Amino acid sequence: MIKKFVAALPFLVATVPAVAAVSLGSQSVLVVENRTGKVLLEKNADRVMPIASLTKLMTAMVVLDARLDMNERIRIDSEDVDRLKYSRSRVPVGATLSRADVLHLALMSSDNRAAASLARTFPGGPAGFQAAVDAKLRALGMDNTRIQEPTGLSPANTSTAEDLVRMAAAAAGYPVIKRLTTDRRDIIRIKGRDVEYHNTNRLVGARGWNVRLSKTGYTNEAGRCLIMRIRAAGKSATMVLLNAGTSATRIADALNIRRMLAKPATPNAAASKAVRRKAAAARRKRR
């Protein structure tokens, strides 16, 4: 599976990760070192699964690619109400916000009405939004991903951990996405009053965590999902967790992965690297 993955993702370097050495409750996991593309850990990384609100990273990229007026006021409409899962929203119908604030709520607080309104007000409406999403998926080489609506509420929004590493890398190229997904909280004026919103990922801003990009997701079909790009012990890595049974399991997996990243190289591994460096230097001298 890893060989197939590397063939599809030429910027990644295959390894043989010892999954058993790290306790993982999520059904699908992939951890990749950002600088080298080295696969540090994987578990069922090619399994196609529902992705819930991880979808919203794609929604944000498509909206930002369209270079829309972020100061334009958007009215939350009854069309934006979730009629599939009847999920709760703290953004009332009739509220008018800037597109920038709507994007903030979709990313930081994972608000479904906010995400739906971004697609509804996209040039060409939902059909135009869908065409832009499909084009973005093709451009990123996310061949095993299907996104049919902007919120992630539909179980038809599916992907693999492999593809989602690609999506995370692309999203990290948008400074506004990095900033909005790593805000702990914000106060936004809604219908004349200040309303405080919080990040759905409680690891953002937590002691000992350096989170560079974040998105959580949850539906019954998808379980608890998470994308994070973090820095730990001088290493920058992307983790994708899909279908954890509980929030506690998702957090425990993230903690175990951070501990793995923080572990120093074993003496044997370090010695092996030194030998390889010396051998490479000797070869260069002979040329």
Q: Could you give all domains of the chain from N- to C-terminal order, each with its CATH number?
A: 2-271 (3.40.710.10)
Distance of CA 279 to the CA centre of its chain: 39
**Rounded Cα–Cα distance for residues 45 and 6 (Å):** 12
Quick: pLDDT tens for 117-153.
Answer: 999 999 999 999 999 999 999 999 999 999 999 999 9
Question: Residue 265: its pLDDT value, please?
Answer: 60
pLDDT band for 2, please (50, 70, 90 cuts): very low
* Closest among 221, 223, 255 to 239, alpha carbons compared: 255
Residue whose tokens read 């990749």: 32
Confidence of residue 18 (pLDDT cuts 50, 70, 90): very low
pTM: 0.88
Output 6 or 91, whichever has higher pLDDT.
Answer: 91
Residues designated catalytic:
53, 56, 110
The rounded distance, in Å, linking the Cα atoms of 145 and 48 is 8
* pLDDT-based confidence at residue 22 (cuts at 50, 70, 90): confident
The per-residue pLDDT of the chain, averaged, comes to 90
What percentage of the chain exceeds 90 in pLDDT?
83
Is 4 assigned a ligand-binding role in the annotation? no
In this predicted structure, the answer to whether residue 271 has a pLDDT above a threshold of 50 is no
Task: Please give the order of strands across the beta sheet that includes 39-43.
Answer: 39-43, 28-33, 235-244, 223-232, 211-219
